[in-house]
A = this chain, B = another copy of it.
């Protein structure tokens, strides 16, 4: 009557039809937008018949919403704890690089989420609470600690954390959303280095500090 549940499986989303369809959906949705994509295309991309899709998802919209559960968590919710004794410069650069890697690996999903979050409030809420606020919170907490310890100047960590995120984000948007390398190709390493440099210089409490390299 009901299929046996294997010990370790519970919700095996990593594999199987469902995952296969969601993977295809991310690709097609991100290329054409939700409204512009057709279920026929998704089926083709997934290598299944159109009807099969509706065995796993009642509606097209439900496919989109299917992305915010385990799927997103699996793709984007990795966490990093650099509770190290390394310098801020190193830690921040590492965090940023890690984040960028994650985004680049899932750029289709990210573009899709940002684009469609505008139009689907249910998607927006999940995306916000599961990904954005959580990520923002980590960086915010890090900065708040430094402010409290007096290492950083007394700047609102909610603003500072977002400012730093924004500095990096704009280069991702620039490249992945709009222009590719058509107008300017930025060197990622140099961008990160510069951004962290401006940020730390801007927020550190002044002490005898190293001068900027000429």
What is A's interface to B at a CB cutoff of 8 Å?
A: 31-36, 111, 114-115, 117-119, 124, 127-128, 132-133, 153-156, 158-160, 162-171, 174, 177-179, 183-184, 186, 190-191, 194-195, 197-203, 205-206, 211-214
Most buried by B among A35, A118, A177: A118
In the complex, which residues of chain B have a beta carbon less than 8 angstroms from the beta carbon of A169? 166, 169-170
List 24 interface pairs A-B (beta carbons < 8 Å), by A numbering.
Answer: A32-B35, A32-B119, A33-B34, A33-B119, A35-B35, A35-B36, A114-B177, A115-B118, A117-B177, A118-B178, A133-B183, A155-B194, A158-B184, A159-B191, A160-B198, A162-B174, A163-B167, A163-B194, A164-B167, A166-B166, A166-B167, A166-B168, A167-B167, A199-B202
A67 to chain B, nearest CB (A): 16
Contact of A190 among B128, B156, B191 (CB under 8 A): B156
In the complex, which residues of chain B have a beta carbon less than 8 angstroms from the beta carbon of A33? 33-35, 118-119
A212 to chain B, nearest CB (A): 4
**Cβ–Cβ contact B203 & A198, under 8 A:** yes
A192 to chain B, nearest CB (A): 10
As for how many copies of this chain the complex holds, the number is: 2
In the complex, which residues of chain B have a beta carbon less than 8 angstroms from the beta carbon of A167? 162-164, 166-167
Most buried by B among A115, A166, A168: A166
